[in-house]
Amino acid sequence: MEKSLSVVISGGGTGGHIYPAIAIANEIKLRYPEARILFVGAKDKMEMEKVPQAGYEIKGLWISGIQRKLTLKNLLFPLKLISSLWKAIGIINKFKPDVVIGTGGFASGPTLMIANRKRIPTLVQEQNSFPGITNKLLSKKATKICVAYDNLERFFPKDKIIKTGNPVRQDLLLVHSKREEAQAFFKLDKKKKTVLVIGGSLGARRINQLIELELGFFKKQDVQLIWQCGKLYYEEFKEYDKENNIQVFQFLNRMDLAYAAADFVISRSGASSVSELCIVGKPTIFIPSPNVAEDHQTKNAKAIVDKHGALMLKENELNTFPVVFETLLKDKGKQESLSENIKELALPNATSDIVNEIEKLIKK
């Protein structure tokens, strides 16, 4: 009897690393229902909650990143790394994977390092236009690197790179047929334009402050808001949910319907959000977070803006938001061209293409 396929997937820290990992796992399960899939994450991060919710087993490593300033956490880093490498050896020896996949985040470092050392094929999936330190280090020994943007041979060995795009939720591919269902779900006024505000799963302080500051402006423009303020800020902003034409959410469980309902989107530019918005194709204003490694959100947004697919406002330019938004609201031609141009950049088959590459590694 042929042994069933065994796969280890490692990545996490943020939704941007976790959701692609889960999408890849789901596609593998679809093709190989008997496959054994094990996730490896960082002990105190959100993957420890999100992965079991998606129906997969996860093991946690005691690992975190290096802070930019001297802290106790930095002094603990060598100890955490050694502990994580030992645990990764135990996991890989016991589970005997046929392939190991890393989607970024600290836990994928020790896991893929050990897999590489044991000559197990590894695939790195890089979501951003500017890679993080973990994936840069892993790329030297990885077998394949799946990317979502052009020009990444500056960071990775050229012969290993395959441009697939980022895995996105499959329900987003049908967003355009869900408009009426979405309007009913959110109890929206069909005569008004709808603005969707998303700042990532934890939320974005500056975006939330901007929306709070401009509530009077939105009222004057006669638009309605679906405002996902995030887990960290819900207590602070939930009072606005009582007001007409404003709905405040900690988290949106039906992202497909939120996108379907939206006429405009105001969003951070994490890699997953950018990939989703390319598929959804709504006029978008990106407000990148300046607080992420190597300012990669600005680079992600710029890759779209340079192709005339979205607008971008940096956090230090938010005083111009009312002018930018009102101009867009009144310019139907601009809305249509942004929509068409961003859709041109979509790679809707990313998950399937990545798993095709994984299959090639297994067959070798």
Q: Is 13 annotated as a binding residue?
A: no
Helix axes 271-280, 296-305, angle to 10 degrees: 20
Pairing type for strands 246-249 and 223-228 reads: parallel
CA distances for 70 relative to 64, 65, 138, 225, 294, angstroms: 14, 12, 25, 42, 19
CA–CA gap between residue 240 and residue 35 (Å, rounded) = 47
Q: Is 297 annotated as a binding residue?
A: yes
247 phi, psi to nearest 5 deg = -120, 125
CA–CA gap between residue 173 and residue 303 (Å, rounded) = 22
CA–CA gap between residue 130 and residue 151 (Å, rounded) = 10
Q: Is 169 annotated as a binding residue?
A: yes
Q: Is 289 annotated as a binding residue?
A: no
Q: Is 132 annotated as a binding residue?
A: no
The pair of three-digit structure tokens given for residue 168, joined into one six-digit string: 């996105």
Q: Is 128 annotated as a binding residue?
A: yes
Tell me the three state secondary structure of residue 354: helix
Which residue stretches of the chain are H helix?
15-31, 47-53, 72-95, 108-117, 133-139, 179-185, 205-213, 215-220, 234-237, 255-261, 271-280, 296-305, 321-330, 332-344, 350-363
Max Cα distance, the chain (Å):
69
Q: Is 14 annotated as a binding residue?
A: yes
Q: Name the binding residues.
A: 14-16, 128, 169, 201, 297
Q: Name the binding residues for UDP-N-acetyl-alpha-D-glucosamine.
A: 14-16, 128, 169, 201, 297
